[in-house]
Amino acid sequence: MLQKIKSLSSKRSVWLLLIITITAFLATALYFQHVMNIQPCIKCVYIRAAFSAMLFAALIGFITAKITILRSLALIGVIAAAVFGLNQANELLEIERVIAAGGFSTCAFFAEYPSWLPLEQWLPAVFEPTASCGDDSWSLLDRSMAFWTSIILYSYIIVLTLFLLCQVVKVNSNPYKG
């Protein structure tokens, strides 16, 4: 079983599927913003940055799928970015919870990207916050976008951590053995 998972992680088609799903989630976020006019808060754009970092690491994994050390580093990169995105989504969920309980909570209005990576200047239509946190005007099954983003990121983390752990398993090339 672990050998099969490891061999799956060395297939470009699996990495391509990861790239497609991450791209689809980023495209969905842009659809919500530019078509449905649901403006992003700072946590939302940080989550977008996390998905973009996941996409970058997945592209590296796609290119280097056959090289174990580079594939492992790509998996670590995707997982690390997903954990960052999950932290942002969970903070946003907490803000929504406080507001729903009748309290007051908000977040910063200006993004604080590293000086060497000014995403809000390079792609303001994607990475510049234009709303305050806590607006949950969209829901699916009575759950907010932050909730579903958390579920998606938890799923990525669980599956990709399993893939990463399987990188230490030796793949048996003997078709007659286990």
Cα–Cα distance, 146 to 120 (Å, whole number): 21
The question of whether 166 is a catalytic residue gets the answer: no
Active-site residue, from 12, 71, 97, 107:
107
The 3-state DSSP class for residue 85 equals helix
- Type of residue numbered 61: G
Provide the CB-side half-sphere exposure for 125 (13 A, CA).
7
Active-site residue, from 12, 41, 143, 166:
41
| Contact by Cβ (8 Å): 47, 129 | no
- Type of residue numbered 26: L
The question of whether 71 is a catalytic residue gets the answer: no
The question of whether 48 is a catalytic residue gets the answer: yes
| Contact by Cβ (8 Å): 164, 76 | yes
Active-site residue, from 12, 71, 133, 143:
133
| Contact by Cβ (8 Å): 32, 146 | no
Active-site residue, from 12, 44, 71, 97:
44
| Contact by Cβ (8 Å): 43, 92 | yes
Active-site residue, from 48, 71, 97, 166:
48
SS (H, E, C) 138-149: CEECCEEHHHHH
**Which residues are the active-site residues?**
41, 44, 48, 107, 133
